[in-house]
Amino acid sequence: MKNWTAPKIEGEIPCGDMPKDKVTIYPNHISKANAVFPRLLEEIELVGHDKVVVGICGGSGVGKSGVASVIAYYLNEMGIGAYTLSGDNYPHKIPLYNDAERIKVYRTSGIEAMLADGNFSEENFKVLQKLQIENDDANTKYINEFEWFKSYFDGGKQGLINYLGTNNEIDFDKLSLIIANYKEDSPTIWLKRMGRELHELWYEQVDFSQIKVLIVEWTHSNSDFLCGVDIPILLNSTPAETLAHRIARNRDNQTDSPFATLVLGIEQQKLFKQSKKAKIIVSKNDVLLTHNEYLEMMEGIEND
């Protein structure tokens, strides 16, 4: 598709299916989609069946929703029916409760590690509890101030590693079944909708009879827990760039807190480990990368 020319985008275009998630298409979304699209068309031809699943993954705030929306628009303009599905509809808990569960996992695992290491005492807990109340108990500066804090931090981090992006946090089986039903040519499929409030949880029946490409835009769309993705696309960003994206987007409170930074670091490590499966990797500057080039760019991330 060397002769492909990107159609002009005028006005609003259809976006993903995450309730109340406002997606604004910026020039960088378009430029990144333009870099990916010709290669994507080649990969679609190589899949060998009529129902193709594309996964667009990357760190939080990297532009997955915007890029996915532009790619879906391009496909539909070519007469290739495309639908964008947001994986953020498939955690077990709504965002408010899942955020609380992440903190609970971190703190419970940290205290259990202190007990196992013989570092838990009433005196140490009084200090720790103060840090917890201040939401500063994931701040690594305390490793140098309190001998016991490393036990707490390392234990909490390991607990998060075992929770984030796993079946403990996300209903991968449900989404994998949706993908399987799509590939089996189900004309309609009930898709989950999850907002940010308890009353914002429902299902919507979606017509897939004319859909040839299902785009799953989600941090975890290249996860080993998710089945059926044919073409994983990794939108790359460093942890610092990811944090900057989140701060600029300002979707949640305490975006730049030590705990949020810890979560983003774990998220980045998991993306790194899964990167070998990506069929397309694109840099922040819209350059397509080989996996080796990506590894060079991200050198050291696996040891963070």
Tell me the per-residue pLDDT of 280-291, one tens digit each, with 9 for 90 and over.
Answer: 999 999 999 999
pLDDT digits (tens, 9 = 90+) for 163-191: 999 999 999 999 999 999 999 999 999 99
pLDDT for residue 16: 84
Q: What is the percent of the chain with per-residue pLDDT over 90, rounded to a whole number?
A: 82
- Between 47 and 237, residue with greater pLDDT: 47
Give the rounded percent of residues in the chain with a pLDDT score beyond 70.
92
Statement: residue 219 has pLDDT above 90: yes
11-47: pLDDT as tens digits: 889 888 887 677 889 999 999 999 999 999 999 999 9
With tokens 């069929």, the residue in question is 279
Q: What is the pTM of this model?
A: 0.92
pLDDT attached to residue 19 = 78
pLDDT of residue 247 exceeding 80, the answer is no
pLDDT at 251 over 90: no
pLDDT confidence band for 208 (50 / 70 / 90): very high
Q: Is the pLDDT of residue 253 over 60?
A: no
Chain segment 90-149, per-residue pLDDT in tens = 999 999 999 999 999 999 999 999 999 999 999 999 999 999 999 999 999 999 999 999
Residue (of 57, 69, 56, 55) closest to 15 by Cα position: 69
> In the predicted model, is pLDDT for residue 161 greater than 70?
yes
Nearest to 151 by CA among 120, 113, 115, 183: 113
What is the structure's pLDDT at 304? 55
Complete domains list, the chain, with CATH = 27-89+170-303 (3.40.50.300), 95-163 (no CATH)
Please, are residues 85 and 19 in contact by the beta-carbon 8 Å criterion?
A: no
Grade residue 299 by pLDDT with cuts at 50, 70 and 90: confident
Confidence of residue 249 (pLDDT cuts 50, 70, 90): low
Q: For position 23, what pLDDT does the model report?
A: 83
Identify the H or E element spanning 123: helix 122-133
Contacts 24+ apart (CB under 8 A), 157-163: 157/106, 157/262, 157/266, 158/109, 158/113, 159/105, 159/106, 159/108, 159/109, 159/110, 160/102, 160/105, 160/106, 160/109, 160/262, 160/263, 160/266, 161/266, 162/105, 162/109, 163/101, 163/102, 163/105
Please say whether the beta carbons of 271 and 219 come within 8 A: yes
pLDDT reading at 275 higher than 70:
yes
Q: Are β-strands 213-217 and 52-58 bridged in parallel, bridged antiparallel, or unpaired?
A: parallel
Question: Given this model, what pLDDT does residue 149 score?
Answer: 98
> What is the rounded radius of gyration, in angstroms, for the C-alpha atoms of the chain?
21
